[in-house]
Amino acid sequence: MSIAESVKGDLVVAMKAGEKERVATLRLLLSELQKAAKEGSADELAVLRRERKRRGEAELAFRDGGRAELADAEAAEAEIIATYLTAELDDAALDEIVARAVAQTGASSPKDIGAVMNAAMAEVSGRADGKRVSEKVREALAAA
DSSP letters, 35-63, are HHHHTT---HHHHHHHHHHHHHHHHHHHH
Q: Is the pLDDT of residue 67 over 90?
A: yes
Instruction: Give the mean pLDDT of 114-139.
Output: 84
Q: Round to whole Å and give the CA distance between 51 and 77.
A: 9
Answer yes or no: are the C-beta atoms of 137 and 117 closer than 8 Å.
yes
Query: What pLDDT does residue 33 have?
Result: 92
pLDDT in tens, 18-55: 999 999 999 999 999 999 989 987 788 888 989 999 99
Spatial CA neighbour of 128 closest among 48, 49, 42: 49
Instruction: Give the mean pLDDT of 97-115.
Output: 85
Delimiting residues of CATH 1.10.10.410 domain(s) in the chain? 91-143
Q: How confident is the model at residue 109 (pLDDT cuts 50, 70, 90)?
A: confident
Other beta carbons less than 10 A from residue 79's beta carbon: 12
Instruction: Give the mean pLDDT of 89-115.
Output: 86
User: Model's pTM, two decimal places?
Assistant: 0.70
Q: Round to whole Å and give the CA distance between 112 and 124.
A: 18
Q: Is the pLDDT of residue 130 over 90?
A: no
CATH class of 91-143: mainly alpha
Residue with the larger pLDDT of the pair 14 and 127: 14
Query: What pLDDT does residue 90 have?
Result: 83
| First-to-last C-alpha distance (Å) of the chain | 44
What amino acid is encoded at 130 in this protein?
G
Query: What pLDDT does residue 62 have?
Result: 96
Please determine, looking at this structure, whether the domain spanning 3-82 carries the CATH number 2.60.40.10. no
Q: Round to whole Å and give the CA distance between 69 and 53.
A: 19
Delimiting residues of CATH 1.10.1510.10 domain(s) in the chain? 3-82
Q: Is the pLDDT of residue 144 over 70?
A: no
